[in-house]
Amino acid sequence: MRSRLLRWPAVLFFALAAGCSTVAREGATVSLPGRIWDAHARRFVGADIVRRAAREADVVLLGETHDNLEHHRLQRELLAEILATDRRPALVMEQFDREFQAPLDAAGSSQQRNPETVLDAGHFNRRSWQLDGYRPLIALALDFDLPIVAANLSRNEAREIVRDPAQAALPPVDKRVEQALAGDIERSHCGAKTPPAILAGMVAAQRARDLAMAQALMRYERRGAVLIAGVGHARADRGVPLYLEKRPLVIAFIELDEDKKSPDDYLDGEFATRASFDYLWFTSRADRTDPCATAPGLPQVPNQ
């Protein structure tokens, strides 16, 4: 198995032919896709820096856009980097609801285990999630006997919280966090206005999902854990890290936005801030139709 890991590419960024978004730095012009921006140092860094950070961190959050296969490929390669150090972190996944943890454990320990049986046991929603992106992650976890952890609320739990936010029993946060989440939710629904009571319930449900994922990570903190979740859940200023005692490493895979010409444009306070992520790894956009152009008010491609 180690030989397979060593055959994988050592360089994790790619020259992607996508758009002409560029950023000028010290007189040079470079393409954003495939580059990695250190949000704290405010400079580009090589993939080797990010790989080393992932190897050394106890808890790593890998934020994604759910239907972007490039994001899943990079997630798998970073997980492989950690495994190459002989560490065996838990693979914690937003894509499995926590009510299915017991059958997920049984499928993972079965002699006949394979990605399909695990996906079935965890009631993986093949309509909502990009199967081809997550199957390789599951296969890698099985190859190395990693715990596969269901971290999300069930749909019923989330629905009940939307109806009655008080039952979520959430810890207090700064009001600006909830206001920002409300803005995220409305933007993700193509700007459609949501009745305030329903919007408050949706914000509570989003926070409850973040709390559930944080609790799943904390159970495996000593062993180490890698969270696979949407960018909105991963961000440190209003996502899962708010509920962790120790700040994790947060790597966000960010799709190219033609209206944003430099890394700072992505950290403008609306999409994110310098406190949101440790590294922004820019990629091309997945090929998808614009749901807002055909059905205003429906959710956009989820990365929350």
pLDDT tens by residue, the chain, 304 residues: 444 443 333 333 333 333 334 444 433 446 899 999 999 999 999 999 999 999 999 999 999 999 999 999 999 999 999 999 999 999 999 999 999 999 999 999 988 889 999 999 999 999 889 899 999 999 999 999 999 999 999 999 999 999 999 999 999 999 999 999 999 998 887 877 889 999 999 999 999 999 999 999 999 999 999 999 999 999 999 999 999 999 999 999 999 998 999 999 999 988 899 999 999 999 999 998 877 776 554 444 456 6
**pLDDT score at 4:** 41
3-state secondary structure at position 126? coil
Helix (H, G, I), strand (E, B) or coil at 61: strand
CATH number of the structural domain spanning residue 191: 3.40.50.11550
Q: Judge whether 114 lies within some domain.
A: yes
Contact 159, 106 (CB under 8 A): no
Q: What pLDDT score was predicted for residue 5?
A: 41
Cβ atoms 276, 236 nearer than 8 A: yes
Q: What is the pLDDT of residue 274?
A: 94
In a domain, 26, yes or no: no
Query: What predicted TM-score, i.e. pTM, was given to this entire model?
Result: 0.86
Would 44 be classed as within a structural domain?
no
Please provide the distance, in angstroms rounded to a whole number, between the alpha carbons at the two ends of the chain: 34
Written as one letter, the residue type at 248 is P
CB 240 within 8 A of CB 215: no
CA angle 261, 234, 103 (to 5 degrees): 140
pLDDT at 194: 87
Which residues, in sequence order, are CB contacts of 152 under 8 Å at separation 6+? 93, 94, 95, 96, 97, 98, 209, 212, 213
Residue with tokens 């009655």: 164
Task: Answer whether residue 57 is part of any domain.
Answer: yes
- Distance, CA of 123 to CA of 86 (rounded, Å): 30
- Kindly give, in sequence order, each residue whose CB lies less than 8 Å from that of residue 196, ignoring residues fewer than 6 positions away: none
- For residue 22, is it within any domain? no
Burial of 293 (0-12, 13-18, 19+ CB in 10 A): exposed
- Give how many domains the chain has, as a whole number: 1
Structural domain that includes position 198: 49-261+270-294
Query: What three-state secondary structure class fits 83?
Result: helix
Whether 217 maps to a domain, the answer reads yes
36 pairs with which residues across the strands? 45, 281
Q: What are phi and psi of 77, to 5 degrees?
A: -70, -35
One-letter amino acid at 239 equals G
Calpha distance 240→274 (Å, rounded): 16
Task: Write down the pLDDT at residue 128.
Answer: 87
33 part of a folded domain:
no
C-alpha distance from residue 225 to each of 119, 213, 214 (Å):
20, 11, 11
- In single-letter form, the type of residue at position 213 comes to M
Q: Does residue 38 belong to any structural domain of this protein?
A: no
